[in-house]
Amino acid sequence: MNIRKARLSDTEAIHKLVNHYAKKSLMLPRSRSSIYEYIRNYSVMEIDNEIVGIGALSILWVDLAEIRTLAVKESHAGQGIGKKLVEHFLKEAEELGIKKVFTLTYQTSFFSKCGFKEISKEHMPHKVWKDCLNCPKFPNCDEVLMVFDNEETSMMNAAQE
């Protein structure tokens, strides 16, 4: 298993995987142009040169980032790929000095296992919602907001040492 930054040549695989789940109403669709525009945010998990998982870390502010578009091929589900991608993005955020990472998700039990906590959407700054304006579900979003606090986790880890 290898996690790497996405390349432009990965766009079709990312698009196919995301929209497979979007058709099942498990995630929001992404256009090819959106994937091209934000390709630097994406990372992919490869096994034997096949992309089996994808996700993106989108930086929104000096201390805030979002994990988006996390998906794993159904044929590889349950193998820890999603968790490894989340850990990859949390490490990337920590290295950048980002204190809080959030996600909007339907997969609350998965993100809970990864250390995220559910919070009310009213607690997020309005700048977070800029992408929501173009969403077909706006203003009636049914995704759940979950947050991981790197600063809180770092303090807990230091106290355990």
- CA-to-CA distance for 21 and 39, rounded, in angstroms? 19
b or e along 29-54 (b: 16 or more beta carbons within 10 Å of the residue's beta carbon)?
ebeeeebeeebebbbbbeeeeebbbb
Q: Which of 41, 54, 47, 48 is nearest to 13 (CA)?
A: 54
Tell me the pLDDT tens digit for each residue of 69-82. Answer: 999 999 999 999 99
Q: Coil, strand or helix: which one is 108?
A: helix
Place of tokens 């945010």: 41
Query: Mean pLDDT, to the nearest integer, of 73-92?
Result: 96
Reported in sequence order, the residue ranges of 6-61 that DSSP labels E, i.e. its strands, are 42-47, 50-61
Structurally, how many domains does the chain consist of? Answer: 1
- pLDDT tens readout for residues 124-142: 655 455 555 555 555 556 6
Q: How do residues 14-70 score in pLDDT, each as one tens digit? A: 999 999 999 998 888 899 999 999 999 999 999 999 999 999 999 988 889 999 999
Give the pLDDT score at 128.
55
Q: Which residue has the higher pLDDT, 114 or 60?
A: 114
For residue 8, give its domain range: 2-160
pLDDT of residue 135: 55
CATH of the domain at 42: 3.40.630.30
Nearest to 74 by CA among 30, 109, 26, 146: 26
